[in-house]
Amino acid sequence: MRQISVALFAGALFGAGLAFSGMADPARVQGFLDLFGHWDPTLAFVMGGAMIPMAVAWIIQRRLDKPFADAHFSLPGTTLIDGKLTIGAVLFGAGWGISGLCPGPGFADLAINPLPALAFVGALLAGMIVHRVTS
Amino acid sequence: MLAAFPHAMPLEGLIGGLMIGVAAAVMLLGLGRIAGVSGLAARATGIADSGAPRSIAIAFVIGLPLGAFIISLITGGIETRFPLTIIPLIIGGLLVGYGTRLGSGCTSGHGVCGMSRLSPRSLIATSIFMASGFVTVALMRAGGFL
């Protein structure tokens, strides 16, 4: 129950940050990617802001034996840079540009603008299922 | 606030970014996990077999709209300008879903968590998906879709 509460709190704070920063607005995100239009640098400030607590968190993490609410760290250890990583990133970036949405804002917007958000999230999950059944 | 970019929200972006960073830090230091939305969404829906316990993934994913809703209430509503037709949402969603599974992460996992860890894998993934996004939108503009 404690772990679920921590995850719910983290998810809610994450969603609140997306909404407050303007990142739940697909046109604003697309504006950041639109170098040849009315470029909107807001996303760079969001990324920069998010880096600060996380850089500190990684320093603290290296000094801990285990996290505060779990028995051990479960962190990705893979360092492989392969075709899957690069092609996956190319496809994700294309979809991000076309829609102005990545997964976080897609889910966050279910509470703000449910119908178009649901269309995006439905297609997102369908894309994940396609990956699962073809790999 | 930025004279050259009248539509930018640098202060809101920075504060919201700090909130996102603290949220990811809570996941890392509290539960020992990466706050990667694509991975957690795949786990929450049962599309992925491995990863975080399903209860944790579901709680995090439910939190996303909950937090956005609270901000919307406090601020009197937030702007969400979606594409005008469903087609870019469907094509974009399919590509984002497939691509984030193939590439093992999105803006949160590779971008926020991986880059702050200085993970070479995440630095490369983030550089590629940013570049791909820039090129895609440039092509959309050239093709008259924007």
pLDDT digits (tens, 9 = 90+) for B65-118: 999 999 999 999 999 999 999 999 999 999 999 999 999 999 999 999 999 999
As a whole number, mean pLDDT of residues B28-47 equals: 98
A1 CA to centre of own chain: 25
Inter-chain residue contact B94 with A55, CB threshold 8 Å: no
B66 CA to centre of own chain: 16
Inter-chain residue contact B63 with A7, CB threshold 8 Å: yes
Paired tokens of B104: 């093992």
Taking the C-alpha atoms of residue B47 and residue B39, their distance in angstroms, rounded to an integer, is 9
Is the model's pLDDT at A26 over the cut of 90?
A: yes
Inter-chain residue contact B83 with A79, CB threshold 8 Å: no
Q: What are the backbone dihedrals phi and psi of residue B7, each rounded to the nearest 5 degrees, phi first?
A: -90, -10
Calculate ∠ Cα A16-A17-A22, nearest 5°. Answer: 105
Residue B21 has its nearest CB partner, among A35, A53, A126, at A53
Inter-chain residue contact A42 with B12, CB threshold 8 Å: yes
Domain boundaries, given as residue ranges, for chain A: 2-134
Most A CBs within 10 Å: which of B49, B58, B71, B139, as the mutation test of the A interface? B71
Contact status of B146 with chain A (Cβ, < 8 Å): yes
Cβ A111 vs Cβ B69: under 8 Å: yes
Inter-chain residue contact B48 with A85, CB threshold 8 Å: no
Amino acid at B109: G
| Predicted confidence band of residue A56 (pLDDT cuts 50, 70, 90) | very high
Is the model's pLDDT at B1 over the cut of 90?
A: no
Contact status of B7 with chain A (Cβ, < 8 Å): yes
| Predicted confidence band of residue A63 (pLDDT cuts 50, 70, 90) | very high
Inter-chain residue contact A41 with B120, CB threshold 8 Å: no
Inter-chain residue contact B37 with A113, CB threshold 8 Å: no
Residue B30 has its nearest CB partner, among A20, A67, A123, at A67
Amino acid at A25: D
As a whole number, mean pLDDT of residues B42-55 equals: 96
Q: Quick one: which of B56, B59, B58, B61 has its CA closest to B31?
A: B56
Taking the C-alpha atoms of residue A82 and residue B103, their distance in angstroms, rounded to an integer, is 9
Given the structure tokens 């921590």, which residue do they identify? A6
Taking the C-alpha atoms of residue A117 and residue B56, their distance in angstroms, rounded to an integer, is 23
As a whole number, mean pLDDT of residues B115-142 equals: 98
Inter-chain residue contact B32 with A73, CB threshold 8 Å: yes
Contact status of A118 with chain B (Cβ, < 8 Å): no
Start-end of H helices in chain B: 10-26, 37-44, 54-75, 87-102, 115-116, 120-142
Surface-to-core class of residue A113, CB atoms within 10 Å of its CB (0-12 exposed, 13-18 middle, 19+ buried): buried
Inter-chain residue contact B92 with A113, CB threshold 8 Å: no
Amino acid at A98: I
Q: Quick one: which of B125, B117, B80, B63 has its CA closest to B99?
A: B125
Taking the C-alpha atoms of residue A51 and residue A54, their distance in angstroms, rounded to an integer, is 5
Residue B135 gets the label, from left (phi > 0), alpha (psi -120 to 50) or beta, of alpha
pLDDT digits (tens, 9 = 90+) for A32-52: 999 999 999 999 999 999 999
As a whole number, mean pLDDT of residues B11-35 equals: 98
- The pLDDT, as a whole number, for residue B2 is 78
What three-state secondary structure class fits A43? Answer: helix
- The pLDDT, as a whole number, for residue B63 is 98
Most A CBs within 10 Å: which of B2, B19, B58, as the mutation test of the A interface? B19
Furthest-apart CA pair in chain B: how many Å?
49
In this structure, the number of other CB atoms found within 10 A of the CB of residue B145 comes to 11
As a whole number, mean pLDDT of residues A73-77 equals: 94
Cβ A62 vs Cβ B69: under 8 Å: no
Chain A residues lying within 8 Å of B56, measured CB to CB: 3-4, 7
Contact status of B44 with chain A (Cβ, < 8 Å): no
A67 CA to centre of own chain: 22
